[in-house]
Each structure stands twice: as C-alpha cells, then as structure tokens.
Amino acid sequence: MIVASPHLDDAFLSCAALLQDIRRMVSVSVVTLFTEGGNLVTLSGRQFVRQCGYSDVDGLYRDRRAEDLVAAGMLGVDAEHLSFVEALYRPKPEARGRVLRRMSAAFPESAAIYPTYRWHASKGTIAQSDLSTLKSASTALGRYNTSENVVALCPLGIGDHVDHVLTRTAVEAVFQPEQIIYYADQPYALHWPTSRWRYPDGSREPVEYRGDQIRKASILRTYATQVDALFPEGMPELSEFYYAYRR
Ligand SMILES: [Zn+2]
C-alpha cells in the first residue's frame, strides 16, 4: 500500500490510526510529494516560515523532513520524500531564465506560480504553468504502481490547497479507480463544509476509522514545527474518513 501525502504531515494527520493497524498486514509506504522549500521567498512564503517559528525556509524544511522520518519510524511504516517544491515556493518554469531570475530577486511574486496563499495556492486550481509539476509527480508516483494489487491512499483535496488537488490528480492519472481509496484531508475536514468536499464519483458514504486516537496524537506531536501553529488551542480528535469510488 502507498499513501500519497501532499506535505510532510498530511498522511499522518489524516490516516495515522488506520496505518498503525494496517501495517501489520501489508507493507506501507508513505510517499510525500512536496518536501522542499526552494529559494523563492514571497510574502506568503515568509509568513509561513515565521508562523512555524523559523527564519529560513531551508532550515524549516530540513527539520520537517526529519520529523517525518521520526513519525514514520514510530508508526513502523516506510517514508519516502519525492523532493518537489511546495506551492508557496514553486517558481514558474520560465523564471529559470536570467531576466526573470533578476526580476524575481527584486519581486519574488513575479516568478511564483502561486504568488499568495490566500488568492492562489488555496484556490484549488492547478495553474497552467504548473502542469509540468503534475506530469513529473504522476511519473514519480507511477513507479509505485508495480502491480494491480497495490492500493493507493489518496487525499480528497478538502481545503482546496493546490498541492492536495495536484496529488489527487497525479494519483488518478497513474492508478486505476479500483486501486484508490480516498481519505478526508485533516484538519481541513474539521471545518470545511461537506458541500465542498471533492467526493469521488458515486461515493459519499464514508467508512469512519477511529483506531487508537491517543497513540495517533502522540505520533502527531512529533511534527513539532506544525502542530502548535495548526492547533493553537490543543489537538482535537482527528477522525479518519475513507471513500472508494463506485461505478
Ligand atoms: Zn498539506
């Protein structure tokens, strides 16, 4: 089984209770796509780094990757990092040219595919200039589809973060519908209206999995750079919901 995780923490926030039980029966690889911060620093990008208590992007992502390996070790699953740059820091492909490189040094937003979090990265639409990322992500995930028995856990994309939507689109490009089980993205699922959940065709009835929520919470505390900012009032119970496509 593979779990496609947009960011370092999504798979565990959304699926840790199920994973800790299922790993005794099948081998589980948590494959995280967007594990790099890159060097394009927009205002939104800087705000995110500060909110996590850091002053530099590289340091933050280095620590986030390390946290993920610790969490995976505690859970007894494999963790792989595909090294794509997270949406907040993703440069336009043409920004690699010299003129745009200079312009982006003065005004980073001009070189960003998604210049702001609020108006771009959280709108749920994959930009035209991001289609090459989608193609590379699909190719990378396709390498895990080694037989028809492989199951892929895939985010629904609740919350409309473009990295979550892109991850789902890439999984759907390389796995058959019968191989995919969708998970509700936590913590977005706590407050996002269900009318805006991106249900798979023919399936609105979830399977809820509670499992061991206390153990789940202790594993999630490993993500120290994230949990305080995500849950300033303490960590709530993060229910897990799963859906399968039905013909
Ligand atoms: Zn995420």
- Per-residue pLDDT of 54-79, as tens digits, reads 999 999 999 999 999 999 999 999 99
Phi, psi at residue 133, to the nearest 5°? -65, -45
Q: Is residue 51 included in any domain, yes or no? A: no
Q: Is residue 107 included in any domain, yes or no? A: no
Give the number of other CB atoms < 10 A from CB of residue 29. 15
DSSP characters over 167-193: HHHHHHHHS-GGGEEEEPPTTHHHHS-
Residues 171-207: tens digit of each pLDDT: 999 999 999 999 999 999 999 998 888 888 777 788 9
Count CA within 13 A, CB hemisphere, residue 152: 31
- Cβ within 8 Å of residue 93, ≥6 positions away: 129, 132
Q: How many angstroms is it from 163 CA to the middle of ligand 1?
A: 7
How would you classify residue 117: left for phi > 0, otherwise alpha for psi between -120 and 50, otherwise beta? alpha
Domain of 195? Answer: 2-37+63-89+121-244
Q: How many angstroms is it from 179 CA to the middle of ligand 1?
A: 22
Going by C-alpha positions, the residue among 168, 227, 127 that lies closest to residue 5 is 168
Distance CA 238, CA 120 (A): 27
Q: How many angstroms is it from 245 CA to the middle of ligand 1?
A: 22
The number of residues in the chain equals: 247
- The highest-confidence range among 67-71, 109-113, 223-227, 232-236, by mean pLDDT, is 67-71
Phi, psi at residue 212, to the nearest 5°? -95, 95
Q: Is residue 83 included in any domain, yes or no? A: yes
Q: How many angstroms is it from 47 CA to the middle of ligand 1?
A: 16
Q: Please state whether the predicted TM-score (pTM) of the whole model is above 0.75.
A: yes
Tokens of 76: 């007894």
What one-letter code names the amino acid at 220?
Answer: L
Q: How many angstroms is it from 93 CA to the middle of ligand 1?
A: 22
Distance CA 240, CA 231 (A): 17
Q: How many angstroms is it from 99 CA to the middle of ligand 1?
A: 32
Q: How many angstroms is it from 235 CA to the middle of ligand 1?
A: 17
What one-letter code names the amino acid at 246?
Answer: R
Q: Is residue 113 included in any domain, yes or no? A: no
Q: Is residue 173 included in any domain, yes or no? A: yes
Confidence of residue 247 (pLDDT cuts 50, 70, 90): low
Q: How many angstroms is it from 186 CA to the middle of ligand 1?
A: 9
Q: Is residue 104 included in any domain, yes or no? A: no
How many structural domains is the chain composed of? 1
Cis peptide before 6 (omega within 30 of 0): no
Give the H or E element holding residue 87.
Answer: none
Q: Is residue 209 included in any domain, yes or no? A: yes
Q: How many angstroms is it from 46 CA to the middle of ligand 1?
A: 17
Residues 13-43: tens digit of each pLDDT: 999 999 999 999 999 999 999 999 987 788 8
- Cβ within 8 Å of residue 16, ≥6 positions away: 75, 216, 219, 220
Q: Is residue 232 included in any domain, yes or no? A: yes
Q: How many angstroms is it from 8 CA to the middle of ligand 1?
A: 7
Average pLDDT over residues 221-234: 91
> What is the domain-level CATH number for residue 18?
3.40.50.10320
Average pLDDT over residues 207-219: 94
